[in-house]
Amino acid sequence: MARDAIARQYDVEKNTVRLVPGTDAPKNYQSGTITFQAKKGKSINLDKIRESIWATRLSGGTNMQVTYLEVTAKGEVVAGEKELLFKIGGTGQQFVLGSGPNGNEALRRIQEAVDRGEKIASVTGRVNGWSGRFPTVLRDLEAESGKKQLTLFVTDFATAK
């Protein structure tokens, strides 16, 4: 269901949507990883992904859950008043950069790179709020939609060459 909802998005290259079955689920459950890419010249709108998944049966009673949503985005890092921001190239979208799931090593390294004057070309991280059972995750994300900037917990980054 979630895979199909993602594939229907106008900004997703539907030929890149893949479900890779996992092996770590309990006996009566199936786990897996859904991967996908934006169409060339497009930026994926996470609110539209949430809305599309909401329109499936996942908005009702289900035991399905999302462990995390990891994104890699191209853009630039800029210093905000209290934190680093990552602005997605060619869009108005931006993330507050936060400490990743394995501590703050990646965030510390990105801060050091910015302090040295290096240009950050892309950031990979997990989007805050995309974790837990459906439909709770979808309701919580909808309630937060438009209220504040999303936090991207940094796991990796690349500098411009």
Q: Are 7 and 16 in contact (CB under 8 A)?
A: no
DSSP bridge partners of 152: 97, 127
Return the pLDDT at 159: 93
pLDDT in tens, the chain (161 residues): 677 778 777 788 888 888 887 777 666 666 788 888 888 888 888 888 888 888 876 656 677 788 888 899 999 998 878 889 999 887 888 899 998 666 688 899 999 999 999 999 999 999 999 998 888 888 888 888 776 788 999 999 999 87
How long is the chain? Answer: 161
* pLDDT, position 101: 60
CB of 148 within 8 A of CB of 160?
no
Instruction: Spell out the alpha helix ranges (H) of the chain.
Output: 2-7, 46-54, 105-115, 136-144
102-116 in b/e form (b: 16+ CB < 10 A) is eeeebbeebbebbee
pLDDT value at residue 102: 62
Q: Within 13 Å of residue 157, how many CA atoms lie on the same side as its CB? A: 28
The token pair at 3 is 């895979």
pLDDT number for residue 34: 86
Task: Indicate the domain borders of the chain.
Answer: 2-159
Residue 60: what pLDDT?
66
Check residue 90 and give its pLDDT: 79
pLDDT of residue 113: 92
